[in-house]
Structure 1
Amino acid sequence: MAMSNNVIGAINFIAILLSIPIIAAGIWLTTEPADSCVKILQWPVIILGVLILLVALAGFIGGFWRIPKLLMVYLVAMLILIILLLCLVVFVYMVTLRGHGDVEPNRAYLEYNLDDFSLWLRRRVRSSFRWDRIRRCLSSTSMCPDLNQRYRMAQDFFNAHLSPMEAGCCKPPTKCGYQFVNPTYWISPINNGGDEDCSKWSNDQTQVCYACDACKAGVLADLRKEWRGANLILVITLAGLVLVYVIGLFAFRNAKTEDLFRKYRQGYT
């Protein structure tokens, strides 16, 4: 029994370590440009990581100090948390399946279309209330002004690998035919093609294309990239937690079996 309990404790110490990448993934999301303004995924990830840490700690204590009730709580709670983590991984994978950028002639950066993204993600930016908050966050950053310092010539700018948010929010869409002056100041064409985004562009440095659907699409494209990066960490951690849980479950069953045999032998001595 003691040996099995020590194994359970050691295994749960590994589970404690596995909770750290989950918490770290949530904290990392809070530092990324899109997630810092949209604020959807990071807190569920952080909370789930903290809960896994606490439950694994309970299993660690229950194993080394031989507290069967605490181990039972661990087994039930950890199973629930693993299922929740699996649901989160599947959800993130499903909502980030779509959203690839489009190549434009003579441009190194991609253009993004809002309709290319999943319906659930589109709803996060289509509400005027939600977008106003995101827009204020974007305008408070130095994302667009920094482009003016990095690119002086038109060809240098066209050859730049801009982030989706830079491409969508800081310049007019390429299809509108605006003439480059600097990355955030463009001369309007005589005919902008009737596209709504073309008329929403403003040379006001506090406005630029923050009202454009292209900007919303750029935010979702960056969000998609960040979520897929975090989801990779969650998938690897989930696999580790499942393995640790299965080993711990077998160790717990062995410990209970050893205990029953010990009581059985004592009954006949």
Structure 2
Amino acid sequence: MALSNNVIGAINFVAVLLSIPVIGAGIWLATETDNSCVKILQWPVIILGILILIVALAGFIGGFWRVPWLLIFYLVAMLILIILLACLVVFIYMVTMRGSGHLEPSRAYLEYHLEDFSGWLRRRVRSSYKWERIKNCLSSTPMCAELNQSYSMAQDFFNAHLNPLQSGCCKPPTLCGFTFVNPTYWISPISMAADMDCVQWNNDQTQLCYNCDSCKAGLLANLRKEWRRADIILLITLVALIWVYLIGCCAFRNAKTEDLFRRYKQGYV
């Protein structure tokens, strides 16, 4: 029985370690500019990771110090958390299936359209109240000002591989036909294309294209890229947790069998 308890404790210690990548994925998302402005996914991931840590610690203590009710709590609670983590992995995958960028002639960077993304993601930026808060957060970052320091020639800028936020928020859409002065200052044509983003563009360095749908699409494209990376980490952790949980269940069952057999022998010898 002591050996089985030690095995259960060791297995649950592995579960403790597996909470680290979940918490780490949430913290990483929180440090990214777009996620820190939107604040959708990072806290559910961090909270789920902390709950996995607490439950795994309970199983670790219950295994090494032979506390049966803690082990039972671990088995029930960890099963619930595994289901929640699986639901989160599937949810992230489903809402990030759509949203690829579009190539434009003579441009290395991609353009992004809001309608390409899932309805759930679009609703996160549709509300004028929500977008005003997000826009103020984005405009306070140096991401657009950094472009002016890096590119002074039009061709160099057109050959640049901008991230989705820079492509959507810091410049007008290519279809507008604006003339390049610097990455964040453009001369509008006499007759602009019939696209509201072309009208929304403003050379004021605090405005730029932050009110454009292309900026919202760029934000969602950035979120999509980062969420899919986090989803890979969560999926790997989920598979490992399931494996650890199944081994823990087998060890717990064997420990109970050994305990019953020992009591049986003590009663009849």
TM-score by length of 2: 0.99
Corresponding residue for residue 253 of structure 2? 253
Percent identity, please. 74
Corresponding residue for residue 106 of structure 1? 106
Q: Give the gaps of 5 or more residues in structure 2.
A: none
- Per-residue displacement from partner, 1:159-210 (whole Å, max 9, x unpaired)? 0000000000000000000000000000001111111100000001000000
Report the alpha carbon displacement of residue 33 of structure 1 after superposing the two structures with TM: 1.9
Q: Give the gaps of 5 or more residues in structure 1.
A: none
Corresponding residue for residue 159 of structure 2? 159
Q: 1: distance between equivalents of 2:92 and 2:155?
A: 37
- Per-residue displacement from partner, 1:54-92 (whole Å, max 9, x unpaired)? 000000000000111110000000000000000000000
Report SS of the residue matched to 1:181: strand
Corresponding residue for residue 28 of structure 1? 28
User: Structure 1 residue 53 and structure 2 residue 53: aligned?
Assistant: yes
Corresponding residue for residue 196 of structure 1? 196
1:166-177 alignment, distance < 5 Å: 166-177=166-177
User: Structure 1 residue 43 and structure 2 residue 43: aligned?
Assistant: yes
Corresponding residue for residue 6 of structure 2? 6
TM-score by length of 1: 0.99
Corresponding residue for residue 147 of structure 2? 147
Report SS of the residue matched to 1:141: coil
Moved over 4 A (4+): none
Q: 1: distance between equivalents of 2:37 and 2:51?
A: 25
- Per-residue displacement from partner, 1:138-176 (whole Å, max 9, x unpaired)? 111011111100000000000000000000000000000
Corresponding residue for residue 217 of structure 2? 217
What is the RMSD computed on CA atoms of the aligned residues?
0.5
Corresponding residue for residue 133 of structure 1? 133
Whichever residue aligns with residue 81 of structure 1, its letter is L
Q: 2: distance between equivalents of 1:194 and 1:236?
A: 46
Corresponding residue for residue 186 of structure 1? 186
Report SS of the residue matched to 1:186: strand
Report the alpha carbon displacement of residue 222 of structure 1 after superposing the two structures with TM: 0.2
Corresponding residue for residue 120 of structure 1? 120
Report the alpha carbon displacement of residue 2 of structure 1 after superposing the two structures with TM: 1.1
Q: 2: distance between equivalents of 1:250 and 1:95?
A: 36
Whichever residue aligns with residue 243 of structure 2, its letter is L
Whichever residue aligns with residue 99 of structure 2, its letter is G
Whichever residue aligns with residue 110 of structure 1, its letter is L
Q: 1: distance between equivalents of 2:225 and 2:28?
A: 13
Q: 2: distance between equivalents of 1:13 and 1:91?
A: 28
1:232-251 alignment, distance < 5 Å: 232-251=232-251
Report the alpha carbon displacement of residue 256 of structure 1 after superposing the two structures with TM: 0.5
